[in-house]
Amino acid sequence: MSEMDIKSEKKSDDDLEAELEEIESGEGDVKDLTIERLKEEIRLLKGRIKALEFNIEFEREAFERERRQAQEEIDSLKRERYLLRKQLDELLKPPLLLGEIMEILSEREVIVKSSTGQMFITSVYSKLDPRDISVGRRVAMDKNNLVIMRVLPPGKDPIVVAAEVIERPKETYADIGGLEEVIEEVKETVELPLLKPELFREIGIEPPKGVLLVGPPGTGKTLIAKAVANKTKATFIRLVGSELVQKFIGEGGRLVRELFQMAREKAPSIIFIDEIDAIGAKRMAMDTTGDREVQRTLMQLLAEMDGFKPLENVAIMAATNRMDILDEALLRPGRFDRIIRIELPDEEGRYQILKIHTRGMKLHKGVNLKSIAAATEGYSGADIRNLCTEAGMFAIREGKRRVTMDHFMKAKEKIDRKREEEESRRRIGDKGMYL
Ligand SMILES: Nc1ncnc2c1ncn2[C@@H]1O[C@H](COP(=O)(O)OP(=O)(O)OP(=O)(O)O)[C@@H](O)[C@H]1O
Ligand SMILES: [Mg+2]
């Protein structure tokens, strides 16, 4: 057998492989191979390429799978980050507990005296600048874990934030329709004893200590108080019960005390507590700190009211639309001993209110306010204001330059629907009645 024969005879793939390696390393020579053998080698190489291609495809798929998994993980982390951010935002939002830094233990750990008087060792939220942390600073803490979330600007007493003091509201008596008698009574019982106490001393009577405005929602209670504040020469301090409860957890009692203190210092003053039902609701079985806190605020208020004599140059006025849920203690003599009721406006009242709220509107000459007043039985002042606004909206939607009677009628239909909805919601929501 010649050498040629040996190289051309059929060989196994393994032998072919070995031969290729020899050629690659320089030990063998391609020229020694027959065409047949070269074809064999090519077939082998093609097979190897196929296998490699298959491997690549397989790896690519595996890689793609991994990429998808990673992407899913990224997405879920993003979702988690979003939720955490939201939680963090929640935590940063009020209500927060107020406190004062008493001692600094380390950059992130301090002793705080909370507004309720308790002392805590607590930590400082990592995003806060440690330079802001110093003894005596007022801080806002998370209600649940007491972590310090915010350092409050120095010198800004919450009393100033809680009460609208001294700043005169722009509402005047001219903005109130009807209610002349109520306004007279408020002036007589609230303002007169403050500004002319000698009148009462001479006659020998004591003016009422507290005056409570009671009436359905939207009938002008807050409006009257604002008009009094605008006109009176006394210092006017307005605080809103619901805000006191929501914003100043743990501070309610102290705030009431400080406000009365301030009222005395700046006498003659009028303290007006709007929405007093938020702090003065009947005492019931209490199960949350919130409830207890509201109770403390109420107790402080009662104590303050008992604490001063009439003619001490401080008058107290409050408003509510839920007299039925007020704690009786508030209504005892020497507290809110004068109740002024505000009813829904009668036809004449509605006409007056309509005149006020259409003052700045361009009305078509066909608009008859008297007949609108006649057609709006049961409307409160706020309803009438809404009616005027809605009528204006209809005119704008139709591209009209003036508001017509038709616009008022459409507005009335809309408001009637809304009033019905509210009425039924109220009936389902609670058994509460307006007194
Ligand atoms: N007698 C009125 N004259 C003119 N506008 C009124 C009158 N009553 C209510 N309004 C309008 O309705 C708005 C709401 O009234 P206001 O806030 O005084 O009601 P309220 O009696 O305090 O109600 P709530 O019990 O819900 O606090 C006022 O800003 C005003 O635009
Ligand atoms: Mg009000």
Is the peptide bond preceding residue 95 cis, with omega within 30 degrees of 0?
A: yes
β-strand pairing of 235-240 with 210-214: unpaired
Task: Tell me the best of 172, 176, 219 to mutate to test the pocket of ligand 1, counting ligand atoms within 8 Å of each CB and taking the most.
Answer: 219
pLDDT of amino acid 236: 84
Beta carbons of 279 and 252 less than 8 angstroms apart: yes
pLDDT by residue, tens only, the chain of 435 residues: 444 445 556 678 788 888 888 888 888 787 777 888 888 888 888 988 999 999 999 999 999 999 999 999 999 999 899 888 888 877 666 577 888 888 999 888 999 988 777 888 999 988 888 888 888 888 888 888 889 988 887 654 555 455 545 557 788 899 999 999 999 999 888 888 888 888 888 998 888 888 999 999 999 999 998 888 888 888 888 888 877 776 666 677 777 887 888 888 888 888 898 888 888 776 655 555 566 667 777 777 888 777 766 556 888 899 999 888 888 888 888 788 899 999 999 999 999 999 999 999 999 999 999 999 999 999 999 999 999 999 999 999 999 999 999 999 999 999 999 988 888 887 765 544 443
Which ligand minimizes its atom distance to the CA of 381? Answer: 1
pLDDT of amino acid 277: 86
pLDDT of amino acid 435: 38
Q: Which two tokens stand for residue 43?
A: 């077939």
pLDDT of amino acid 250: 66
Task: Tell me the best of 221, 223, 275, 357 to mutate to test the pocket of ligand 1, counting ligand atoms within 8 Å of each CB and taking the most.
Answer: 223
pLDDT of amino acid 223: 93
| Residue 318 CB less than 6 A away from ligand 1 | no
Write the residue with the smallest CA distance to atom 27 of ligand 1. Answer: 217
Q: Tell me the C-alpha distance between 27 and 403, whole Å.
A: 106
DSSP conformation letters of 43-70? HHHHHHHHHHHHHHHHHHHHHHHHHHHH
Q: Tell me the C-alpha distance between 151 and 124, whole Å.
A: 10
| Residue 218 CB less than 6 A away from ligand 1 | yes
Residue 185 half-sphere exposure toward CB, CA atoms < 13 A: 16
| Residue 241 CB less than 6 A away from ligand 1 | no
pLDDT of amino acid 42: 87
| Residue 386 CB less than 6 A away from ligand 1 | no
pLDDT of amino acid 215: 94
pLDDT of amino acid 434: 42
Sheet holding 138-141, edge to edge: 119-123, 109-114, 97-106, 138-141, 148-151
Distance (angstroms) between ligand 2 centre and the Cα of 191 equals 20
Helix or strand run (H / E) with residue 184: helix 180-186
